[in-house]
Copies of this chain bind each other. A is one copy, B any other.
Amino acid sequence: MKHYLSVNDIDSLNDWVNEARELKKEPKKLKSLGEGKTIGLLFFNNSLRTRLSTQKAAMNLGLDVIVMNFGSEGWALEYADGTVMDQGTSEHIKEAAQVISQYCDIVAIRAFAGLTDKKEDEAEIVLNGFKKYASVPVVNMESSVGHPLQALADAITLAEQNTKKRPKVVLSWAPHPKALPHAVANSFVQMMQLQDADFVITHPEGYELNPEVTKDSVIEHDQKKACEDADFIYVKNWSSYNTYGQVLNQDKNWTMTKEKLGNAKFMHCLPVRRNMVVADEVLDSDQSLVIEQANNRTYSAQVVLKKILENN
């Protein structure tokens, strides 16, 4: 593995999860692996968990860390080939990516979907621009279409909490006042497709995810039915994929409640809108795994950086 751009870059999910759980027991045991090397974390969008956990993971491995808010601290980037750059962009991704590769041994990028132009979002121009022109490994800290560090943390959490041979895992849409990207849902689906589980996706009609992602995953439009006897329910809002980037529905009947949750464990990537996406009674109960999921972000980042440091 050179880059970590999507869940598809995981060659053996089971091994990675086990390695992450080993690192969690003794986070500093590979403190010398990254010594003398530098990681650059480039944020084109806001971040709390990713910002802190990726720094923490890098420091655990002895890496020097440079954090940069690219939008406000750097230059507006141009991604198109052949452009006459006489407008708002000051620097081409070709130069930016090559230049950053002179100073950093690994580059990690966060660049959200704009949700206005499906083609542009799916082209992943920022992430793929860095992949194409950087001469060092690139890590996805959430791109337009995927959030594979989150999905790996979710897999670690499932492995820690699961007691069954084949658990029932539900991904449920929930209402939200704003249009949100599909990245977290996509990567969770892709990660579940690598697991031995009874996996069901539930959402209102019109909220179908990209069929190239969901493939033959089961989709059930009746949320209550989908949640019956679930072991884990992962709740997440996303905007419409077909009517791209639109909020079609804010029906609070889709809010996750204790009743619908039953005996399942509750999962969410955070940040979460309380009493919109999920009721207080769920988040404040012992059935919520959200804080542990956030904790595992450190170890998912750490195992990814470890793989990169070992292989490059």
Assess whether A103 is interfacial by the CB under 8 Å rule. yes
- Pick the contact of A270: B56, B82, B99, B275 (CB < 8 A): B99
Q: Tell me the number of copies of this protein.
A: 3
Question: Which residues of A42-83 are within 8 A (CB) of B?
Answer: 43, 46-49, 51-53, 55-56, 59, 64, 66, 68-69, 72-75, 78, 81-83
Cα distance, A291 to B73, chains bound together (Å): 20
Cα distance, A91 to B96, chains bound together (Å): 33
Cα distance, A294 to B53, chains bound together (Å): 30
- Pick the contact of A103: B56, B68, B284 (CB < 8 A): B56
Query: Nearest Cβ distance between residue A287 and chain B, in whole angstroms?
Result: 15
Cα distance, A59 to B295, chains bound together (Å): 24
Q: Let me know if B64 and A48 touch, CB within 8 A.
A: no
Given A275-B82, A298-B103, A55–B66 Cβ distance below 8 Å? yes
- Pick the contact of A74: B40, B46, B98, B177 (CB < 8 A): B46
Q: Let me know if A72 and B72 touch, CB within 8 A.
A: yes
Cα distance, A52 to B43, chains bound together (Å): 14
- Pick the contact of A40: B52, B83, B283 (CB < 8 A): B52
Assess whether A28 is interfacial by the CB under 8 Å rule. yes
- B-chain residues with CB within 8 Å of residue A291 when the two chains form the complex: 95, 98-99, 102
Q: Which residue of B lies closest to A53 (CB)?
A: B103
Given A28-B36, A98-B291, A294-B102, A91–B272 Cβ distance below 8 Å? yes
Cα distance, A250 to B84, chains bound together (Å): 13
Q: Let me know if A52 and B274 touch, CB within 8 A.
A: no
Interface size class of A (residues with CB under 8 A): 35 or more
- Pick the contact of A271: B66, B95, B275, B297 (CB < 8 A): B95
Cα distance, A98 to B48, chains bound together (Å): 12
Interface string of A92-108 (1 = CB under 8 A from B): 10111011101110000
Query: Nearest Cβ distance between residue A112 and chain B, in whole angstroms?
Result: 13
Q: Let me know if A275 and B38 touch, CB within 8 A.
A: no
Cα distance, A294 to B98, chains bound together (Å): 9
Given A46-B74, A72-B72, A283-B94, A52–B104 Cβ distance below 8 Å? yes
Q: Let me know if B95 and A270 touch, CB within 8 A.
A: yes
- Pick the contact of A87: B82, B95, B177, B284 (CB < 8 A): B177
- B-chain residues with CB within 8 Å of residue A51 when the two chains form the complex: 68, 73-74
List the 8 closest A-B pairs by CB distance, nearest first.
A91-B271, A85-B273, A102-B295, A84-B275, A52-B103, A99-B294, A48-B74, A86-B177
Interface string of A234-250 (1 = CB under 8 A from B): 00000000000000001
Assess whether A151 is interfacial by the CB under 8 Å rule. no
- Pick the contact of A85: B48, B91, B274, B295 (CB < 8 A): B274
Query: Nearest Cβ distance between residue A48 and chain B, in whole angstroms?
Result: 4
